Chain A
């Protein structure tokens, strides 16, 4: 099975790649359109800001390609946010594959931004991506912007308000947390993605 990591300049590329290696999948890091199109699974990682992330995809000529993919695609953290229609971060137009607007967490007493650390997942909808996941199992989050809960939400986490922790629409999937850094829970969810 050919798994590719889209080289959109994100800094967590190394750790996602190592996590896939621990699951026995050797993912190529690429920005080549033909390689991405031919892959069985495509992962869009990314840490950083929405504006530079989309600018990089545009420079690489990958925006239309990513929109046209039919194989399972997984966006991780910023990668998931880029799948959405729009992000408040830098007022950025994103890929438009999930009809949501990414919003900044409102600062409230006791709720620090960024939302950083382990938080419980609450399953909203059954999906093969969540196979074996029990309600309340925790994953590691690091982000200041979040995708609201909606019809695309498979699992939520709660930080003052519930927000989307796992999303799916057609062949496009997203995880707001870092599965590559979420211990056994993350490994299970990454494996589920590879098994889709």
Chain B
């Protein structure tokens, strides 16, 4: 049986792992390779690295640390950050990343998803979606969320974009629910359930994990394939081995 995945997310800025609250006010959490190895040892199923300032600064991800991570760890990892062409994606994949995730550049030019899927197969192509509920109750996509000064609200509805991204060749969707991010009150189960109903590829929940129960709820109630979290892991508030034992007791299939 396929296990549900626990995925620590490492936001990378200037070669270090940082964490902000609601995508703002970043503090340094540690060195990239050191944290990657720590999570591998604790039983993380996969890692995601977001070069959070690459897209707002109009540059691609720094490949040096991608290769260092690839040499050091033996679990899969995905890299995101300003990848806007097949050539840039190829360089990151050749450096040793297993998947690449596109977010703002795919919103600028949706054909990028088609091109990446054609070049590398859909299994390499993750589409990250930053989503926030507007006053009218509708979830809409945000762009350039790595930099609060540059973050833009788009007219594009989250669920429409999720359907289009799959049609274009997304092999996995990471839904960052910005309204719940960093405040540890649980994943946005309402939004994730809506997404699940239209998402035929693996769906990863992001934003809001604070308690082991939140992971259980995302897996059981919203049926997501993986749950991504950052601050609860970086701070030590949740240890992955204990989290997995809890999930197993709750009947969730996890890798022990």
**Which positions in A face B, CB cutoff 8 Å?**
11-15, 18-19, 21-22, 47-49, 78, 107, 110, 112-120, 138, 140, 142-144, 158-159, 178, 180-184, 186-187
Contact = CB atoms under 8 A, between A and B. Distances in A.
B45 A117 contact: yes
B14 to A, nearest CB: 24
Interface size, B (range): 35 or more
A178 B96 CA distance: 13
Contact of A48 (B70, B74, B75, B121): B121
Given A116-B123, A181-B98, A18 B71 contact: yes
Contacts of A186: 74
Interface stretch (B23-31, B87-95, B149-157, B210-218): B87-95
Given A178-B98, A183-B75, A11 B120 contact: yes
A118 B120 contact: no
Given A12-B98, A18-B70, A181-B76, 5 more contacts: A14-B95, A116-B202, A118-B2, A140-B46, A183-B75
Contact of A11 (B1, B94, B199): B94
A94 B122 CA distance: 20
Contacts of B37: none
Contact of A187 (B46, B74, B199): B74
Interface of B: 1-5, 40, 45-46, 67, 70-71, 74-76, 90, 93-96, 98-99, 119-124, 171-172, 199-203, 223, 225-226, 255
A-B CB proximity, top 3 nearest = A11-B93, A14-B96, A118-B255
B74 A14 contact: no
A142 B96 contact: no
B93 A22 contact: no
Nearest to B126: A116
Count chain A CB atoms within 10 A of each CB in B75, B95, B171, B255 and give the residue with the most.
Answer: B255
A15 B70 contact: yes
Given A14-B95, A142-B123, A144-B122, A112 B70 contact: no
Contact of A178 (B76, B171, B201): B76
Nearest to A182: B74
B45 A118 contact: yes
Contacts of A13: 94
B168 to A, nearest CB: 15
B5 A15 contact: no
Contact of A116 (B1, B95, B96, B171): B171
Contacts of B172: 114, 116
Given A14-B70, A159-B2, A47 B123 contact: yes
A60 B197 CA distance: 45
A119 B95 contact: no
A19 B2 contact: no
Contacts of A115: 2
Contact of B3 (A14, A21, A118, A187): A118
Contacts of A140: 45-46, 75-76
Given A11-B90, A140-B75, A47 B70 contact: no
Contacts of A18: 70-71, 96
A162 B77 CA distance: 26
B98 A142 contact: yes
Given A114-B123, A142-B123, A120 B200 contact: no
Nearest to A184: B74
A10 to B, nearest CB: 9
B96 to A, nearest CB: 4
A183 B172 CA distance: 22
Nearest to A115: B2
B67 to A, nearest CB: 7
A143 B123 contact: yes
Given A117-B5, A118-B255, A181-B98, A47 B124 contact: yes
Contacts of B99: 142
